[in-house]
Amino acid sequence: MKLKLETINELQQTILILKDIYDDVRVIDPISKKILLDKNFNVIENKLCYEICDFPKSCKNCIGMRAHNQKKSFVKLSFVGEELFLITSIPKIIEDKLFIIEVFKLIEDILVIDGLKFKNKAEVKNYVEELDNVIIRDENTEIYNKMYTYERLPTDICLAKEYKKNIYIMMLEISKLENIEDIAMEFATFNAISSIERIINKNYDWISKIDENKFLIAVIRENVDMCDKVLHLIMEQLKEKSNKNNGLKYSLSYFNSRYDFNDTLEDSEQLIKRIISSMKRYNV
């Protein structure tokens, strides 16, 4: 994102105010994960926002994308190395462009948080991880939830385009063919999702629940053939389950994304609706 001089000046003024209050300040593009300005007004071209924090990959609980999507500020606790920070993501609009300003505040006494006392740092890390999971995971299935989808998918499409990867976005719909009990449907659904989780690579693929009976699967590979292989494995697994006549119908749709991003990116919900409307549908 190329910034106008007037925009840079306004962002610098904001940074000047905040850097005296917080331990670190930066302006980011939460979709591409690029750092537009750091607290010293530098553009960091060789590292993404999570790499500066020594994270191996993008934060699962990305409050920068949440602030971008919902147009309001969000906070979270996060370890950077062995230090615990309170991170705040703040949306700021300049000349109709949305920027995310992130500020970091070091927590000195990490063994007392929100009135809770902890015995050691390991307990604190578990607590922080639990807080993240409550926000981004579906409470019934424990897979990622709809909000996570809106926050993760635009970034994956953007990075796949930049690094010339291929991404297949699949939609699995599970419906009843006959009157089966809810608990039986829940078990069969869990079984189907577990089978798909064993096929995909959890290092970069993911699955989320976006409706009562709809699940989105994102598969990222080096080329189309590799994505096709995963798609066919998933279809074979669903066909096998369908042939067992368990009272459920499986429909799988997919979209091969080469989506073009621009400076006026539509919001995540509109993006996902557009992708779903372009999907090829198969009844398994």
Write down the pLDDT at residue 245: 61
Write down the pLDDT at residue 259: 54
Distance CA 225, CA 40 (A): 45
95 shares a domain with 193 = no
Instruction: Write the pLDDT tens digit of every residue in 17-66.
Output: 999 999 999 999 999 999 999 999 998 877 899 988 888 888 999 999 99
Instruction: Write the pLDDT tens digit of every residue in 174-210.
Output: 887 667 777 778 888 888 999 999 999 988 999 999 9
* Residue at 141 is within a domain: no
Share of the chain above pLDDT 90, in %: 61
In this model, does residue 173 exceed pLDDT 80?
yes
Instruction: Write the pLDDT tens digit of every residue in 216-250.
Output: 999 999 989 999 999 999 999 998 888 776 677 88
User: The domain spanning residue 230 has which CATH number?
Assistant: 3.30.70.270
Domain stops at, among 85, 115, 136: 136
Write down the pLDDT at residue 258: 58
255 shares a domain with 198 = yes
106 shares a domain with 9 = yes
156 shares a domain with 36 = no
**What mean pLDDT is predicted for residues 270-279?**
82
129 shares a domain with 191 = no
Q: How far apart are the first and last CA of the chain?
A: 43
Range of the domain at 90: 5-136
- Overall number of domains in the chain: 2
- 96 — pLDDT class (breaks 50, 70, 90): confident
Contact by Cβ (8 Å): 78, 84? yes
- 256 — pLDDT class (breaks 50, 70, 90): confident
Domain stops at, among 110, 136, 162: 136
* Residue at 110 is within a domain: yes
* Closest C-alpha to 100, from 147, 146, 47, 34: 34
171 shares a domain with 266 = yes
Largest CA distance in the chain: 65
202 shares a domain with 158 = yes
107 is written with which tokens?
A: 């927590």
Write down the pLDDT at residue 263: 42
* Residue at 12 is within a domain: yes
196 shares a domain with 129 = no
User: The domain spanning residue 51 has which CATH number?
Assistant: 3.30.450.20
Distance CA 147, CA 212 (A): 14
- 261 — pLDDT class (breaks 50, 70, 90): very low
- 116-121 long-range Cβ contacts below 8 angstroms, 24+ apart: 121/82
In this model, does residue 6 exceed pLDDT 70?
yes
Domain stops at, among 136, 164, 196: 136
